[in-house]
Amino acid sequence: MVQHHNFNYNKEFRLESGRSLPEFDLFYSTLGNLNENKDNVIWVCHAFSGSSNVTDWWPGLFGPGKLYDPERHYIICVNMPGSCYGSTGPLTINPRTGKKYYHDFPQLTNRDMVYCFELLRQSLGIEKVHTLIGCSMGGQQAIEWSIICPEVFEHLIAIGANAQHSPWGIAFNETQRMAIETDPTWSHQTDDAGVEGMKTARATALLSYRHYAQYQKTQQETSDSNWDNFRAGSYQRYQGEKLVKRFNAFTYYLLSKAMDSQNVGRKRGGVIKALEKIKAKSLFVGIDKDILFPTNEQKFLAEAVTNGYYEELQSDYGHDGFLLEFEKLAASINNFYSKSKLKKIYAAKS
Predicted pLDDT of residue 342:
41
How many helices (H) and strands (E) in the chain?
13, 12
Is residue 271 domain-shared with residue 237, that is, in the same domain?
no
Predicted pLDDT of residue 346:
28
Predicted pLDDT of residue 340:
39
Is residue 299 domain-shared with residue 155, that is, in the same domain?
yes
Is residue 132 domain-shared with residue 196, that is, in the same domain?
no
Is residue 249 domain-shared with residue 186, that is, in the same domain?
yes
- Taking residues 55-73, what's their average pLDDT? 95
Active site annotation includes 4: no
Predicted pLDDT of residue 224:
87
Is residue 115 domain-shared with residue 19, that is, in the same domain?
yes
Q: Which position among 73, 155, 211, 319 bears the catalytic label? A: 319
Q: Can you name the residues that pair with 43 across neighbouring β-strands?
A: 76, 132
Please give the Cα distance from 289 to 33 (Å, whole number).
Answer: 37
pLDDT (tens digit per residue) in 259-286:
999 999 999 999 999 999 999 999 999 9
Pairing of strands 41-45, 3-9: unpaired
Is residue 309 domain-shared with residue 329, that is, in the same domain?
yes
HEC-encoded secondary structure of 198-267: HHHHHHHHHHHHCCHHHHHHHCCCCCCCCCCCCHHHHHHHHHHHHHHCCCCHHHHHHHHHHHHCCECCCC
Q: CA dihedral defined by 117, 25, 51, 65, rounded to 10 degrees?
A: 60
Is residue 152 domain-shared with residue 224, that is, in the same domain?
no
Is residue 253 domain-shared with residue 267, that is, in the same domain?
no
Predicted pLDDT of residue 78:
98
Please give the Cα distance from 38 to 47 (Å, whole number).
Answer: 26
Active site annotation includes 319: yes
Predicted pLDDT of residue 144:
98
Predicted pLDDT of residue 226:
85
Spatial CA neighbour of 162 closest among 182, 134, 128: 134
Q: Which position among 25, 112, 183, 290 bears the catalytic label? A: 290
- Taking residues 138-154, what's their average pLDDT? 98
- Name the pLDDT band for 338 (thresholds 50, 70, 90): confident
Residue ending a domain, choose from 196, 225, 259: 259
The count of structural domains within the chain is 2
Is residue 153 domain-shared with residue 179, that is, in the same domain?
no
Is residue 150 domain-shared with residue 111, that is, in the same domain?
yes
Q: Which position among 49, 136, 208, 315 bears the catalytic label? A: 136
Is residue 160 domain-shared with residue 45, that is, in the same domain?
yes
Active site annotation includes 290: yes
pTM: 0.95
pLDDT at 24 over 60: yes
Predicted pLDDT of residue 348:
32
Q: What H or E segment, with its residue span, contains residue 287?
A: strand 281-287
Predicted pLDDT of residue 221:
86
**HSE (CB half, 13 Å, CA atoms) of 40?**
17
Is residue 269 domain-shared with residue 229, that is, in the same domain?
no
Please give the Cα distance from 312 to 297 (Å, whole number).
Answer: 12
pLDDT (tens digit per residue) in 167-226:
999 999 999 999 999 999 999 999 999 999 999 999 999 999 999 999 999 999 888 888
Range(s) of the domain holding residue 120? 3-165+262-348
Residue ending a domain, choose from 259, 277, 293: 259
pLDDT at 238 over 60: yes
* CATH code for the domain of 288: 3.40.50.1820
pLDDT (tens digit per residue) in 77-125:
999 999 999 999 999 999 999 999 999 999 999 999 999 999 999 999 9
* CATH code for the domain of 213: 1.10.1740.110
Return mean pLDDT, the chain: 94
